[in-house]
Amino acid sequence: MIYLDHNAATPILAEVLEAMMPYLTTEWGNPSSAYKFGSKLKSVIKTAREQVAELIGAHPMDVIFTSCATESNNAAIAAALKANPTKRHIITSQVEHSSVLNYCMALEKQSQDSPQSSQRSQRRDPRSVSVFSVPSVVNGSSDGYRVTYLPVDREGLLNLADLEAAITEETAVVSLMWANNETGVLFPVEKIAEICRSRGVLYHCDAVQAAGKVPIDVRKLPADYLSLTGHKFHAPKGIGARNLSRENRDVRRKSPFSPLVYGGHQERNRRGGTESVPLIVGMGKAAQLARRHLPDCGKKVRPLRDELEEGILSSIPNTELNGHKTQRIANTTNFTFHGIESEALLILLDKEGICASSGSACLADSDEPSHVIKAMKPDAAASRQMIRFSLGDATAREGIEVVVNAVKCQTAALRDVLSPH
């Protein structure tokens, strides 16, 4: 198998599994228990929290463990809205992950479904809570949450003037990702954070695809909330984290701690639910390793990604790169193969043992085109004809040539079948 879908999931590293094993076997107590067999696990959670904090330059107390980044993203936006009950406007982009887009759309829909607006919404077309079509730039109703979905250009870049223009007195929160999961395009998060800070608006950054790939230092990035997930940097699935800004103390006082999941006193009352000690330990260990490997991260993977990119673009006609050439994380490349349905090519590649994807794994069960490519290149066909390859530390040079040849053969075969004779 040649696995080129690391933006969907990464393998659990042997050291991570080793670190987790005691907590899956002998040390299975509940950290909230009064007796030592359970309570001693508190120190293990503390270590993992410190390790995750170190990866992002945060204070450990500001790291809250969650079940995944979807929860972290939802929780951050919810907390920001709760902190500003009179402000009803959210700004995000058309290319965010579904965990941000669908949450924003649910908030719009919720407000349309509210008793005050039900009469009005009956007259409107019901809005489907879906990211499968690119949301238009401004959606929502005057009596509920209004969401601005900022557009991107053909290279997937954001125009910061659009952000500046979209912020109003009503804006409660801006949610803009660090690195795009489909194209790898990097948003200028420091500048975004500065704009938000200068305009007095909370900023949430989905840093899921950036963690372990680019240096993150929340002391330099004045984001109020930052989301992470373990399974993108070699920890298991089912564990995420959310960071709260420490620097911005005024914001903290207002309501940064409002939980999404209410329950016990875990995570200092910020996220209820018995802590999954093995997963937390795994995320901590993976964060420690990711931090250690960060300086070398791009060095190995970038030349291989570039080789793959050049190989494909130079040998397969009618193929186009999606995403900015340089403003991108080092492991990701995304192509449109004109005239070829992504799914057909993916099936043929799968038969040859090559794993790639046609967008976010979270939307893979739908047959809808990529909303990211659609936002970049509104030509509907391009978004159905894209393939993402995302490399990892274990990607071997020999594999690149195999993939280029396989893509070349299969695209030629598909074009041959499809071309009118």
Q: Which two tokens stand for residue 180?
A: 């795009």
Q: How far is the CB of 282 from ligand PLP (least distance, A)?
A: 13
Q: How far is the CB of 362 from ligand PLP (least distance, A)?
A: 6
332 contributes a contact to ligand PLP by CB under 6 A: no
- DSSP strand pairing (171-175 vs 89-93): parallel
91 contributes a contact to ligand PLP by CB under 6 A: no
**In angstroms, rounded to a whole number, what is the distance separating the alpha carbons of residues 84 and 90?**
11
**Which of these segments, 66-74, 101-109, 194-202, 298-306, binds ligand PLP (CB under 6 A)?**
66-74
248 contributes a contact to ligand PLP by CB under 6 A: no
- For the question of residue 196 being annotated catalytic, the response is no
**In angstroms, rounded to a whole number, what is the distance separating the alpha carbons of residues 336 and 56?**
34
Q: What are phi and psi of 360, to 5 degrees?
A: -65, 135
Q: Quick one: 30 or 327, whose CB is closer to ligand PLP? A: 327
68 contributes a contact to ligand PLP by CB under 6 A: yes
Q: Which two tokens stand for residue 76?
A: 């951050």
Q: How many residues bind ligand PLP (CB under 6 A)?
A: 16
Apex CA 149: angle with CA 147 and CA 151, to 5°?
A: 160
Q: CB–CB of 52/38 below 8 Å?
A: no
181 contributes a contact to ligand PLP by CB under 6 A: yes
Residue from the set 10, 51, 74, 229 that interacts with ligand PLP by CB under 6 A: 229
DSSP 290: H
Q: Quick one: 211 or 308, whose CB is closer to ligand PLP? A: 211
177 contributes a contact to ligand PLP by CB under 6 A: yes
Instruction: Convert residues 93-122 into a mask of x (bound to ligand PLP by CB under 6 A) and - (unbound).
Output: ----x-x-----------------------
240 contributes a contact to ligand PLP by CB under 6 A: yes
Reported for 354-357, long-range contacts at CB under 8 A and 24+ positions apart, including other chains, are: 354/1, 354/2, 354/4, 354/402, 354/403, 354/406, 355/1, 355/2, 355/3, 355/4, 355/5, 356/4, 356/5, 356/387, 356/388, 356/389, 357/5, 357/7, 357/8, 357/387, 357/388, 357/390
List alpha helices for 210-316, DSSP H.
249-254, 266-269, 277-315
- Give the Å distances, CA to CA, from 171 to 96, 221, 254, 280: 18, 20, 16, 34
The helix/strand count (H/E) of the chain reads as 15, 13
**Which of these segments, 77-85, 140-148, 206-214, 285-293, binds ligand PLP (CB under 6 A)?**
206-214
**Which of these segments, 25-33, 65-73, 192-200, 322-330, binds ligand PLP (CB under 6 A)?**
65-73
210 contributes a contact to ligand PLP by CB under 6 A: no
209 contributes a contact to ligand PLP by CB under 6 A: yes
Q: Which of 205, 355, 362, 409 is catalytic?
A: 362
Q: CB–CB of 178/214 below 8 Å?
A: yes
370 contributes a contact to ligand PLP by CB under 6 A: no
**Which of these segments, 68-76, 86-94, 155-163, 279-287, binds ligand PLP (CB under 6 A)?**
68-76
Q: Quick one: 29 or 238, whose CB is closer to ligand PLP? A: 238
Instruction: Convert residues 336-365 into a mask of x (bound to ligand PLP by CB under 6 A) and - (unbound).
Output: ------------------------xxx---
Q: CB–CB of 303/397 below 8 Å?
A: no
187 contributes a contact to ligand PLP by CB under 6 A: no
156 contributes a contact to ligand PLP by CB under 6 A: no
Per-residue burial over 244-278, b if 16 or more Cβ lie within 10 Å, else e, is bbebbeebbebebbebbbeeeebbeebbeeebbbb
Q: How far is CA 346 from the centre of its chain?
A: 22
Residue from the set 20, 45, 64, 69 that interacts with ligand PLP by CB under 6 A: 69
Interacting residues with ligand PLP (CB under 6 A): 68-70, 73, 97, 99, 177, 181, 206, 208-209, 229, 240, 360-362
**Residues marked as catalytic:** 362
